[in-house]
Structure 1
Amino acid sequence: MRADKHQKKKKRRWPSILLVFLLLIGAVAGYAYFQFKQGVNQSLKKINKDNNEANVVYTFEGQKDQYGDTNVLLLGSDARGKEKSRADTIMLVHYNEDKGTYKITSIMRDSYVTIPGHGKHKINSAFALGGPELMRQTIKQNFDLDLQYYAIADFQGFVQLIDEAFPKGVEIDVEKKMSENIDVTLEPGLQRLDGAHLLGYVRFRHDAIGDFGRVERQQKAVKAIKDQLGGFQTIAKLPKLIGVVSPYVNTNMDTSDTLFMAKDFLSDNRGSIETLRIPIENSFTEPRIKGEGAVLDIDVEKNKKALHQFITQ
């Protein structure tokens, strides 16, 4: 008799536990949505909708690569108003879900390659000629790599994201004085940079090594952000951070996909970031081409092989 009563109590207890569990999930989801919308509204107050790249509608016929992994085409656009812009920054973010690893390949914008339907040009002109879809086709044709997603980031979105995520700034060792064409002045030395100054740091290229140094600084900044942004507290802020940057980003990624990948990026136990630059060393010449100026005439096969070795090792 007592055993029967005990079993009845256990049966009554399980629905209560399930209800509490569902309520907790609902509360977490509701809080995340509230934080996301708060971030979106925060940015919408500052954004110039007429100049907003995120309002443009693009087609993109992407898919997972031949290894079953996810690649994101990350483009930094400096368009002003309705003018067509070449991509100022071109990165391939390679994500292996099983390993929890991120690998970032920076393609230098002056790489001289075949653009489908347009002949040979600097690779950054593919964006102006046909948006992210033509850039995807260009990378597929030259490097035999499929890209599933794209994200075009307005530089002001980068500033807002850094300021929200790092109230005290990102710690960076600035290697030299920088000021030309970056709207800020940076002094050498280890220091914390706010969004505007970190943007200036990753865009500076007016020195002896030009765009090579700029690409190196971009990869250095990504690693610094990863190292300094990790941890439970930042993961809890993810919905708001994504909300802050969303009005500045044009992407075909769902918010849920972005949250999932960002969570792994910030997790302390999911591996580190490795980087590659294309063209690799000893794989290019620097001729001047009529109508293009100075270009990086790359050995496509050598760089394609290096890219595939990098993402599969």
Structure 2
Amino acid sequence: MKKNVRINKKRKGLRNLLFTVLLLFVTVAIYCIYQYKSGLSEANNGKYKDDQKMFHDFQGTEPQFGEINILLFGSDSRGEEHARSDTLMIAHYNQNTHSMKIASIMRDTYVNIPGHGMQKINAAFAFGGPELVRKTIKENFDVDINYYAIVDFEGFSKIVDIVSPKGVEVDIPYEMSYGIGMTLHPGKQVLHGDKLLGYVRFRHDRLSDFGRVERQQEVVSKIKEQAVSVHSLVNLPKILGVADPYIDTNVDTPTILSIGKGLIAGKSKSMESIRIPVKDSYENETVNVGAVLKIDINKNKQALKDFLASTEDENNIGQ
């Protein structure tokens, strides 16, 4: 009799535990759905709101050894069907070390675009979308790309304000106004949304596009630091909801969540960055396609491959 009572108590305890776990799962699911839909409602006019992927022929390779390369694009489209890429980066993520690197490729870098000859690299996006950019990078730099993500700058401010609600502190060296639709005054200050977008897009300074690339890497690094906080983890469903209509990507949701979880696990790691072309490896020239950066292709190919490569110690982590 006592034995049966004990068995019944165990069964009841197990049922209660399962019920609690199920209730918790349902609560989290409802919260995530609510947050995601809340994010979508704030971004209902995004360029990619209908989830119709504009580029279906991307032939990225499968990630090897836990290392992922994602092409990041920002477009300067103002309604054109075939706009050039305003920003081109390679985001490198190592699933073993949870480290992230950013390589920025200058838009005027003079390279061979398959089927189109020597052109500025930002023309590849207009000629053939992410796939042609992938082929161009593979041919010129011998780097394999796995995924792509295109960011509509209209949604940049919305995404940043959720990921970094306290804003991003920057030190503006001089007045910035031309071409960004606003005036940013010199000095240290905290920027939000649209003003931060103006800061990273401004290129009419003494460093021209080089200064813009430096600012973009600075802001990406600072946003990454805030993105790995508990605040961002709790708001991840809403962030994904806000971002969805403004980003066209072939990165699947499990991979996005895996990267997000990994970045949080490795939040103490600083983000490394590089600019292509590297210092003392290019010349300013004017050719038939305009002003370009004529690069030492071998020097820059090696610099990019060395930057993206993991060290032996890094590869041993997690094994």
TM, length-normalised to structure 1: 0.91
What secondary structure does 2:181 align onto?
A: coil
Root mean square deviation, CA, Å: 2.3
Check conservation: 2:76, 2:83, Cα contact below 8 A: yes
Structure 1 gaps of 5+ residues are none
- Amino acid of the structure 2 residue aligned with 1:154: D
Check conservation: 1:66, 1:146, Cα contact below 8 A: no
Check conservation: 1:53, 1:248, Cα contact below 8 A: no
What secondary structure does 2:131 align onto?
A: helix
What secondary structure does 1:287 align onto?
A: strand
Aligned length: 310
Q: Which of 215, 224, 227 lines up with 1:226 in the alignment? A: 224
What is aligned with 1:109? 107
Deviates most, 137-146 or 12-21: 12-21
What is aligned with 1:310? 307
What is aligned with 2:21? 21
What is aligned with 1:293? 290
What is aligned with 1:130? 128
Check conservation: 1:126, 1:134, Cα contact below 8 A: yes
C-alpha distance in 1, partners of 2:134/2:47? 28
Check conservation: 1:264, 1:270, Cα contact below 8 A: no
What is aligned with 1:242? 240
C-alpha distance in 1, partners of 2:66/2:46? 37
Matches for 1:1-313 after TM superposition, within 5 Å: 2=2, 5-44=5-44, 46-47=45-46, 56-267=54-265, 269=267, 271-290=269-288, 292-311=289-308, 312-313=310-311
- Amino acid of the structure 1 residue aligned with 2:296: D
Check conservation: 1:70, 1:96, Cα contact below 8 A: yes
Q: Label 1:281 to 1:53 Cα distance change in 2 as closer, same or farther (>3 A).
A: farther
Check conservation: 2:75, 2:151, Cα contact below 8 A: yes
**TM-superposition CA deviations, 1:98-135 (whole Å, max 9, x none):** 11111110011111111111111111100000000100
C-alpha distance in 1, partners of 2:216/2:51? 21
Deviates most, 3-12 or 118-127: 3-12
Q: Label 1:127 to 1:48 Cα distance change in 2 as closer, same or farther (>3 A).
A: closer
Q: Label 1:255 to 1:41 Cα distance change in 2 as closer, same or farther (>3 A).
A: farther
- Amino acid of the structure 1 residue aligned with 2:175: K
What secondary structure does 1:301 align onto?
A: helix
Check conservation: 1:226, 1:266, Cα contact below 8 A: no
- Amino acid of the structure 2 residue aligned with 1:121: Q
How far is 1:142 from its partner? 1.3
Q: Label 1:203 to 1:54 Cα distance change in 2 as closer, same or farther (>3 A).
A: farther
TM, length-normalised to structure 2: 0.89
Check conservation: 2:55, 2:129, Cα contact below 8 A: no
- Amino acid of the structure 2 residue aligned with 1:29: A
Check conservation: 1:284, 1:298, Cα contact below 8 A: yes
C-alpha distance in 1, partners of 2:195/2:83? 23
C-alpha distance in 1, partners of 2:214/2:51? 26
Amino-acid identity (%): 47
How far is 1:75 from its partner? 0.3
C-alpha distance in 1, partners of 2:10/2:299? 66
- Amino acid of the structure 1 residue aligned with 2:306: Q
**TM-superposition CA deviations, 1:15-49 (whole Å, max 9, x none):** 321232132122212211221111012110x4467
